[in-house]
Structure 1
Amino acid sequence: MSGHTIDGWDVIDQAAELSRRGQEFALATVVWRQGPSSGQQGSRAIVTADGQLYGWIGGACAEPVVIREAQEVIRDRQARLLLLGTAEQFGAAVPAGMAVVPIACQSEGALEVYIEPVIPMPHLMIVGRSPMAHTLRDLAQALGWHSELRDAPEFSAVDLSARSLVVVATQGHGDEDAVEQAVLAFPAFVGLVASRRRGEAVLGYLADRGVPQTQLDRVKVPVGLDLGHTSHREIAVAVLAELVQLRASGALVPEAGAPPAAPPQALDPVCGMTVPADKAHHPAEHDGHTYHFCCVGCRDAFTGDPGKYLSAELVHHTHNRES
């Protein structure tokens, strides 16, 4: 976990830069606070999939919770509204859909934080120069996608990233070379506009040339939904329809670019917070077990009287509050 303090609209600038680079992240915004809390209404922070935080959302108690929850938002791509504190601090009732996450450090403040996933628009690389290829580029751009068109001799693997979607529409003008360059980059998707017979011939030739079968198996041919008898330009609609369908289903995930698994978590036996089980969260040994704490105060309270916090009843109670 690493924090980078940037203020105000600088967070939005950072978000734009991450989007430009095709990186998924979560945007956390404080929408309500109850003092004393270091978070302010309107404070924003960006959290990346690997737990980097840019901006300011609150102090030592709030920050690890927001990072943990934001990483889950990135993984499941579902926004969530959190109340960091207790239900009693919010008022008579907690609105449906809000998750209450207990924090119980020295401060008695509370925060309501909205965390939303930010998923960059796809990068679509179309290789070819036919009218269908131009139509596909224009349709994708109308959706706001980052869409590029390259003629086969100008195309290479360096034009791609792990998040790129590649459609080879060279129509017999260098199909083999274009597909080989595409699979070398391990993009999220490779499709070939060709008949099934022509596609089998292209992939068979590349296999004979030594391209690994595991890479060739990722090439979709023919690419595009079956819309029946279509014109050449209408094939672009079928191709884009399939890409939209795959994106909506979450299937266009980079082979090596899925968000990392959440780090190991531990329950602070003093306040009941869930914290990362790492060296930064004040580890303490007792009876052969390592416990982690949200702050030095909780660790000191525990080491002063471990039995007070390790009774079965209290451990069961704090576990239920977290779950």
Structure 2
Amino acid sequence: MTTIAERARELTDNREPFVHATVVRAQDPTSARPGDAAVIRSDGSIEGFVGGVCAESSVRAAALDTMRDGTALLLRVLPDGAPPFPEAPGARVVVNPCHSGGAIEVFLRPMLPAPALRVVGSTPISAAVATLAAFLDFDVVAADDDAGCTAVVVAGLGKGEQEAIRAALDAGVGFIALVASDRRGAALLDELSLTDAERARVHTPAGLEIGARTPAEIALSIMGEVVRAIRVDGLAPASGTPAARPQQAVDPVCGMTVLVGPSTPHARVDGQDFWFCCAGCLASYTAA
């Protein structure tokens, strides 16, 4: 059987975001034990074991939250009526009314792929951009393929620029940096007959205005603009159709937040849909 560590390596190699969950502390009578682990994918599915169905629901919901900003989280799952436990930065406390007893602490570590960047051109500037991007832990794409790239830097200085821009736009790349003067860049984009939405994705002259002159300085200005787009503007990679985030609902019996999926206990009462954390809450609701 594939271990959680092997599965994590496989997802990492495939550049698929996931959360690695590890039970770090458990109090009887919970079924989880320290060292139990699981991976939670962006669609909310889970592989591995971090406790029973109620604890698992809390872990899955919190794991998806950590994927939004890539910040690790220590999740403490308490049974109903447990003594209060103070929250702190980097920690979250949830009270799980249907938890069988005891408490567990689960460390959630989001594993997000490094942003991929493709550099087009064989010039001193393109070489400097590739070197700096690698230093900044970008995945510098060598293949002639923009699929999955977060950004593309076109630094051909007159060679193959239009074709590179068109290919990046067609691949869904959200940030395309064209190294050119104001005048030449505007003329080149006019020849491409871009839509307003496409034109907004092409940045020329590339880079922040820092008075850059040398290839290394120009690379710094370009990568500064790319990093700002990712960290400030929320630039996402070109990934085709992203995995839809699962719908969330509140269990009307215990008040837990649950992820809605094919296996989530469900009932339709008086034309309204209700979802439950477990079969026990469903039975209690329908028996009332």
Cα distance change of structure 1 residues 124 and 284 upon mapping to structure 2, 3 Å threshold: closer
**C-alpha RMSD of the superposition:** 2.6
Supply the AA of the counterpart residue of 1:223.
A
Q: Does 1:136 align with 2:129?
A: yes
Cα distance change of structure 1 residues 201 and 240 upon mapping to structure 2, 3 Å threshold: same
Q: Which residue of structure 1 lines up, in the alignment, with residue 49 of structure 2?
A: 56
Normalising by structure 1, what TM-score?
0.78
**Hey, what's the Cα distance between the residues in 2 that align with 1:257 and 1:78?**
24
Q: Which residue of structure 1 lines up, in the alignment, with residue 228 of structure 2?
A: 245
Q: Does 1:283 align with 2:281?
A: no
Q: Which residue of structure 2 lines up, in the alignment, with residue 314 of structure 1?
A: none
Counterpart contact for 1:87–1:100, Cα < 8 Å: no
Supply the AA of the counterpart residue of 1:41.
P
Counterpart contact for 2:79–2:98, Cα < 8 Å: no
Cα distance change of structure 1 residues 171 and 102 upon mapping to structure 2, 3 Å threshold: same
Supply the AA of the counterpart residue of 1:283.
H
Q: Give a deviation string over 1:52-85, Cα, whole Å, max 9, x none.
A: 2122212211112211111122124333322212
Q: Which residue of structure 1 lines up, in the alignment, with residue 108 of structure 2?
A: 115
Q: Which residue of structure 1 lines up, in the alignment, with residue 168 of structure 2?
A: 182
- What's the offset of the Cα at 1:259? 6.1
**Hey, what's the Cα distance between the residues in 1 that align with 2:116 and 2:28?**
44
Instruction: Give 4+ residue runs of structure 1 displaced > 6 Å after superposition.
Output: none
Supply the AA of the counterpart residue of 2:21.
A
Cα distance change of structure 1 residues 303 and 14 upon mapping to structure 2, 3 Å threshold: same
Aligned length: 286
Q: Secondary structure at the match of 1:38?
A: coil
5+ long unaligned stretches in structure 2: none
Match of 2:88 among 67, 91, 96: 96
Supply the AA of the counterpart residue of 1:251.
G
Q: Secondary structure at the match of 2:50?
A: coil
Counterpart contact for 2:115–2:139, Cα < 8 Å: yes
Normalising by structure 2, what TM-score?
0.87
Q: Secondary structure at the match of 2:130?
A: helix
Q: Which has the larger displacement, 32-41 or 252-261?
A: 252-261
Q: Which residue of structure 2 lines up, in the alignment, with residue 164 of structure 1?
A: 150
Supply the AA of the counterpart residue of 2:172.
F
**Hey, what's the Cα distance between the residues in 2 that align with 1:67 and 1:92?**
22
**Hey, what's the Cα distance between the residues in 1 that align with 2:110 and 2:94?**
19
**Hey, what's the Cα distance between the residues in 2 that align with 1:178 and 1:292?**
48
Q: Which residue of structure 2 lines up, in the alignment, with residue 296 of structure 1?
A: 279
Q: Secondary structure at the match of 2:244?
A: coil
Q: Percent identity?
A: 33
**Hey, what's the Cα distance between the residues in 2 that align with 1:297 and 1:262?**
22
Cα distance change of structure 1 residues 46 and 197 upon mapping to structure 2, 3 Å threshold: same
- What's the offset of the Cα at 1:258? 5.8
**Hey, what's the Cα distance between the residues in 2 that align with 1:137 and 1:278?**
42
- What's the offset of the Cα at 1:286? 4.7
Q: Secondary structure at the match of 1:147?
A: strand
Cα distance change of structure 1 residues 277 and 126 upon mapping to structure 2, 3 Å threshold: closer
Q: Which residue of structure 2 lines up, in the alignment, with residue 72 of structure 1?
A: 65
Q: Which residue of structure 2 lines up, in the alignment, with residue 227 of structure 1?
A: 210
- What's the offset of the Cα at 1:235? 1.1
Higher relative helix content: 1
Specify the structure having the higher radius of gyration (Cα): 1
Cα distance change of structure 1 residues 127 and 287 upon mapping to structure 2, 3 Å threshold: closer
Counterpart contact for 1:268–1:294, Cα < 8 Å: no
Cα distance change of structure 1 residues 234 and 276 upon mapping to structure 2, 3 Å threshold: closer
Q: Which residue of structure 2 lines up, in the alignment, with residue 317 of structure 1?
A: none
Q: Give a deviation string over 1:78-124, Cα, whole Å, max 9, x none.
A: 333222124864x6743534322222337223211122322211111
Supply the AA of the counterpart residue of 1:60.
V
Cα distance change of structure 1 residues 241 and 92 upon mapping to structure 2, 3 Å threshold: closer
Cα distance change of structure 1 residues 42 and 21 upon mapping to structure 2, 3 Å threshold: same
5+ long unaligned stretches in structure 1: 1-5, 307-323
Cα distance change of structure 1 residues 163 and 259 upon mapping to structure 2, 3 Å threshold: farther
Match of 1:173 among 121, 142, 159: 159
**Hey, what's the Cα distance between the residues in 1 that align with 2:19 and 2:9?**
12
Q: Secondary structure at the match of 1:302?
A: helix
- What's the offset of the Cα at 1:257? 5.7
**Hey, what's the Cα distance between the residues in 2 that align with 1:303 and 1:48?**
32
Cα distance change of structure 1 residues 261 and 222 upon mapping to structure 2, 3 Å threshold: same
Cα distance change of structure 1 residues 23 and 123 upon mapping to structure 2, 3 Å threshold: same
Counterpart contact for 2:75–2:107, Cα < 8 Å: yes
